[in-house]
């Protein structure tokens, strides 16, 4: 992932686009991240799955989740 300043981005947009072809480019403004430049393919992959959190939690994706057994018995300390 590349990081460039907004000034560098404005001076050489083509270089930022070339960098974004291989990985997202973070553009900073006054030292803080302000934008991310992505290729269209990366963007399409990012928005392709629009499931809600409810859909994610109720999805049957053949996950083998076997919870460990926990001993919740209460004991009193020996005095």
Would you state the structure tokens that stand for residue 47, as one six-digit string? Answer: 């928005």
Query: What's the whole-number mean pLDDT along residues 22-31?
Result: 95
Q: What are phi and psi of 6, to 5 degrees?
A: -65, -30
Digit-coded pLDDT (tens) for 30-72 = 999 999 999 999 998 888 877 787 877 777 666 666 778 877 7
Q: What is the pLDDT of residue 79?
A: 63
Q: What are phi and psi of 62, to 5 degrees?
A: 55, 40
Tell me, what CATH number does 30's domain have? Answer: 3.40.1620.10
Query: Is residue 27 included in any domain, yes or no?
Result: yes
Query: What's the whole-number mean pLDDT along residues 10-38?
Result: 95
- 4-25: burial string, b at 16+ Cβ within 10 Å, e else: beeeebeeeeeebeebbeeebb
Query: Is residue 22 included in any domain, yes or no?
Result: yes
- Are 27 and 6 spatial neighbours (Cβ–Cβ below 8 Å)? yes
**With bands split at pLDDT 50, 70 and 90, how would you rate the model's confidence at 17?**
very high
Running DSSP on this structure, what letter comes out for residue 48?
Answer: S
Counting the structural domains of the chain, the total is 1
The boundaries of the domain holding residue 18 are: 2-49
């Amino acid at each position: 992932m590349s990081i460039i300043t907004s000034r560098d981005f404005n001076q050489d947009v083509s270089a930022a686009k070339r960098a974004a072809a291989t990985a997202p480019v973070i553009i900073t403004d006054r030292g803080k991240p302000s934008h991310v430049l992505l290729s269209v393919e990366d963007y399409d992959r990012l928005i392709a799955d629009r499931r809600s959190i409810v859909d994610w939690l109720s999805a049957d994706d053949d996950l083998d989740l076997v919870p460990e057994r926990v001993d919740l018995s209460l004991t009193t300390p020996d005095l």
